Amino acid sequence: MSHHRLRWHRFWLGLCAVPFLIVDAPDAIAAKIKMAFPGPVTTFSLPYLVAQKKGWMDGLEVEDVHVTGDANAMRVLLSENADIALVGTLNVLASIHAGANIRSVHSWQPIGDYSLVLATGKGSKLADLAGKTFASSGPGGLPDQLPRLIMRKHGIDESTARFVQVGGHAARLQAVIGGRADATLINTVTALKGVQDGKVAVLTKLSSEFSGLGYVWNVVRTEALTKPELAAAFQTMTDIGIRGSRYVMENPDEAAAALHERLPDLELTFLKAVVRDLNSEKLWGVNGGLDPAIEEFTAELNMKLGNLPVAPAAKDVLDPRFVDAALKKLGPYQAK
Answer yes or no: are the C-beta atoms of 261 and 50 closer than 8 Å. no
Least confident of 51-55, 207-211, 307-311: 207-211
The average confidence (pLDDT) of the chain is: 89
pLDDT value of residue 13:
42
Helices (H), 43-98: 46-54, 70-78, 89-97
Looking at the predicted structure, is the pLDDT value of residue 197 above 90?
yes
205-217: average pLDDT? 88
Strands 32-37 and 84-88: parallel
Sheet holding 84-88, edge to edge: 61-66, 32-37, 84-88, 216-221, 102-106
pLDDT value of residue 168:
84
Looking at the predicted structure, is the pLDDT value of residue 27 above 60?
no
pLDDT value of residue 140:
63
pLDDT value of residue 251:
98
Confidence of residue 214 (pLDDT cuts 50, 70, 90): very high
122-132: average pLDDT? 96
Least confident of 2-16, 51-65, 303-317: 2-16
CA distance 42 to 169: 8
pLDDT value of residue 260:
96
132-157: average pLDDT? 86
Confidence of residue 3 (pLDDT cuts 50, 70, 90): very low
Looking at the predicted structure, is the pLDDT value of residue 218 above 90?
yes
pLDDT value of residue 144:
83
Q: Which run of H or of E encompasses 64?
A: strand 61-66
pLDDT value of residue 175:
97
Looking at the predicted structure, is the pLDDT value of residue 20 above 60?
no
242-270: average pLDDT? 96
> Does residue 81 sit in helix, strand or coil?
coil
pLDDT value of residue 187:
87
124-153: average pLDDT? 88
Digit-coded pLDDT (tens) for 272-283: 999 998 998 889
Least confident of 19-23, 77-81, 91-95, 177-181: 19-23
Helices (H), 27-164: 46-54, 70-78, 89-97, 142-153
Answer yes or no: are the C-beta atoms of 81 and 296 closer than 8 Å. no
Cα–Cα distances in angstroms (integers) from residue 148 to residues 156, 164, 207, 297, 299, in the given order: 9, 13, 16, 17, 16
115-126: average pLDDT? 96
